[in-house]
Copies of this chain bind each other. A is one copy, B any other.
Amino acid sequence: MKFEDYPVAASPPQGINPCDGCALRQLDAFLPASDEELKTIQSFRAGIRRVEAGGSIVEEHRPSTQLFTLYAGWAFRYKTLSDGRRQILSFLLPGDFIGLQDEFAEGQTHGVEAVTDATLCAFPRNKLWPLFHAQPKLGYDITWLAAREEKMVDDNLVTAGRRNAGERVAMLLMHLYRRAERVGMVRDGWVEFPFNQQHIADALGLSLVHTNKTLRRLQRLGLYKLDAGWLRIMEPHALETLGDYFERPLRPTPLI
């Protein structure tokens, strides 16, 4: 089983009305869109973009002229200090909307990098306001997505600020697993886990070495398994308790 096989084809449909056949939108995780909304989204969309694993989707400090919806693959938002220390701000999964913050940030922007090969739907930034104007409902949806994303950063801030190493790792594993599960990326209890330990360290605000030791400890305790880039949560309750992190089932969200 390869990553590209799901949750949907790596490429969105092409042709005249590509959004009509959007496989992502079939998932329970996303709200249905009316015909009119779909038409507006489609006219908002400029095309698709592919980025290979490790490639840059949005460069730090260089505001992108496009917005994106991640269609397939894993990515993350990050910032770096001038001496190179990097902090991953949040991870991105299919359905996540990318680039809103830049809209009003004037150069102090975060970067976005693909972890796996990724496919994105691109939208020209200068059509954002016309979109709000034409379909206030879609504007409301975008605000929804922005608020949801901020909530995730809030949680990550609590993690970096107040959890110890073991709690951080437990929280992150559960968080990533639950989110992947939601968009249909879990098969038989296993989810593709394409991150290396440097990613995890940068997300948690830990050093690489300490991240490794903490991961090994939780693994030896039998809380999770990691095999050839696939993750399986063995003791979800233990991890949730350790991390003091209990993700409620999320309502379906809009998909732009």
Residues of A whose CB lies within 8 Å of any CB of B are 77, 79, 81-83, 85-87, 89, 100-101, 103-108, 110, 128-129, 132-133, 136-137, 139-140, 142-144, 146-151, 153-158, 160-163, 204-205, 244, 248, 250-251, 253
Contact = CB atoms under 8 A, between A and B. Distances in A.
A161 B158 contact: no
Given A136-B132, A139-B143, A149-B150, A160 B157 contact: yes
Given A106-B248, A133-B137, A142-B143, 10 more contacts: A87-B162, A89-B154, A89-B157, A100-B143, A100-B150, A103-B144, A108-B151, A129-B140, A133-B136, A146-B150
A85 B243 CA distance: 13
Main secondary structure of the interface of A (DSSP, over half): helix
Contacts of A86: 162
Contacts of A162: 81, 85-87, 205
Copies in the complex: 2
Contact of A79 (B82, B85, B158): B158
Given A153-B154, A162-B87, A107 B248 contact: yes
A105 B103 CA distance: 23
Nearest to A247: B108
